[in-house]
Amino acid sequence: MIRQLKAFTLSPAFIGLCIALSFFLGLGWVPLFDLDEGAFTEATREMLESGIYSATYLDGEPRYDKPILFYWIQATTVSLFGFNEWAFRLPSVLMASLWAWAFYQFCVQFIGRTRGTIATLFLVNCLWVALIARSAIADATLNLFLSLTFFDIWRYFNQQKPAYLYRAYLWMGLGMLAKGPIAVAVPLVVSVLYLIVSKERAQLYKAYFNPIGWVICIATVLPWVIAVSIEQGTGFFYGFIVEHNLKRFSSTRENHGGSLLYFVFALPLILLPLSGLIPRVVQKAKALWQDNLNRFLILWFAVVFCLFSFSKTQLPHYILNGCVPLFILFARQSVIFSRWRLTTIAPILAMALFTALPWLIPESNPESTRFDEATLSRFSEVYFPAYTWLAAAALAIVIGLALLPRLATWQRLVLSGVVINIFVFTVLVKIISGLQQAPIHHMISFIDKQNTNTQVVAYRMHMPSFSVYREKITPLRAPEAGEWVMTRVDRVERLREDTQAKNIELTKLHQSGGLVLFSASQSQQ
């Protein structure tokens, strides 16, 4: 049986099965999460409602965060498959599937079919890759085009075929439409550094000044640039380039600060269940550097890692594309064919943590004025006994894979990744959704039962899924008399101060978790 398992895990059919389980399984089972999923989807909803396809708006205000491509794709899937979570998330999972396919083709070409299959299985079963693939955000789309750019740059360096060069420029243009300048900046920096440190011939530098290539790249982006400038004027370019790109590196945005060591500690979590392979690559870095492809891959990772380590705004998925070369480097290590069980410590610890979750969350006071405590106070409501049994079963399987004889290291890691992804995205996600998103849906249900057309505003908070599910814009401001206002429990005192200055009286209507709803009326004093 072990022999049949080994053969199956090296087949393209197994890659397809892993994509189905890690990317597609339970895709529409839980509501959208805030902030990012809600923001992308509400902007798409408003696009469809307004008929304005050249620019995006969020809760009635111009949204400058991201370019247009993902919204177009999401608007297409929602139009085809309806207003539901599955359709909202389908663009990401399709882009991620294309990403895996392109990755497989590249790996088979340059490191062979066996190691290429293993590298692809590492990519698909990485917990954070699966998370991005299943989220209604633009990151899987960006990672697809960034990876395609790097793949064709390497092909061009090896064969100098113009088609590879022109494709790289096309991918950069599409990446710009998906996420912005990073789709051009990172590949250019990495490839130039590679040519410099490898002392490659001067002729390759001409690729950076190829007029046809730049025409392809610019022509891909220019029609939308013209359209958005007509719709939103120069506001988009200042908001996007300055506020959401330059200032993201120079100052902390949306409380997502960090430090120079942020990604040093985050990387093992991002690479689960493959974290145990990191020391092996670090240990052999000097020897790996002697190989041209390895050198290109190391520079790819290092540039992304360093770039975002110096950024003042940091989130784990920022360096996800920098992990792509690590999956290939991992697959090129001889240790993955041994029975090295130490690498299974990371997935066992992760699964043990998930199993212990009910005992790790402290009892909290629902009347707390701290948002996190008020949110966690609902844990007993969202917890279900089957969670512990399912978590224990998943932990037992992961431990069993670590102890099972005759399995290679890579098979233990890949199969552990399959088990963890299935558990996280079918069981754990229900707990997280219940804690974070259920209060929003309770608010909507309460408002709907009142059968009122009263304007609802949000004060010093932004959970745009509220607008998505109500299918109404929610202004982000202090309330006027006659309106209702939703805010977080830790913003209530500030809200009272702001409304008292206008002689507005607040009456509490409803609370769910860390969210509170008030009615605002003119004070009689």
For residue 183, what are its two tokens? 């789709």
Rounded CA separation 445/469 (Å) = 10
Kindly indicate the confidence band of residue 261, based on its pLDDT and cuts at 50, 70 and 90.
confident
pLDDT score for 244: 54
Rounded CA separation 177/461 (Å) = 28
For residue 203, what are its two tokens? 């002729």
**What is the average pLDDT across 433-445?**
94
Kindly indicate the confidence band of residue 66, based on its pLDDT and cuts at 50, 70 and 90.
confident
What are the tens digits of pLDDT across the range 234-248? Answer: 777 776 665 555 555
Contacts of 496 (CB under 8 A, 6+ apart): 506
What are the tens digits of pLDDT across the range 318-330? Answer: 888 899 999 999 9
What are the tens digits of pLDDT across the range 131-181? Answer: 999 999 999 999 999 999 999 999 999 999 999 999 999 999 999 999 989
Rounded CA separation 412/390 (Å) = 20
**What is the average pLDDT across 41-61?**
95
pLDDT score for 257: 54
Contacts of 228 (CB under 8 A, 6+ apart): 54, 55, 68, 236
Tell me the C-alpha to C-alpha distance, in Å, between residue 469 and each of 83, 199, 356, 442, 444.
10, 56, 33, 11, 8
- Structural element, H or E, at residue 130: helix 127-133
Inter-residue contact 298 to 285 (CB < 8 Å): yes
**What is the average pLDDT across 496-524?**
90
Beta-sheet pairing, 484-488 with 456-458: parallel
Rounded CA separation 264/305 (Å) = 9
pLDDT score for 250: 52
Quick check: helix, strand or coil at residue 506? strand
What are the tens digits of pLDDT across the range 349-395? Answer: 999 999 999 998 877 777 777 888 888 888 988 999 999 999 999 99
Whether 518 shows a pLDDT value over 90: the answer reads yes
Phi-psi region of 456 (alpha: psi -120 to 50; beta: other; left: phi over 0): beta
Kindly indicate the confidence band of residue 1, based on its pLDDT and cuts at 50, 70 and 90.
low
The whole model's pTM is what? 0.93
Residue 77 buriedness (CB in 10 A; 0-12 / 13-18 / 19+): buried
**What is the average pLDDT across 57-81?**
94
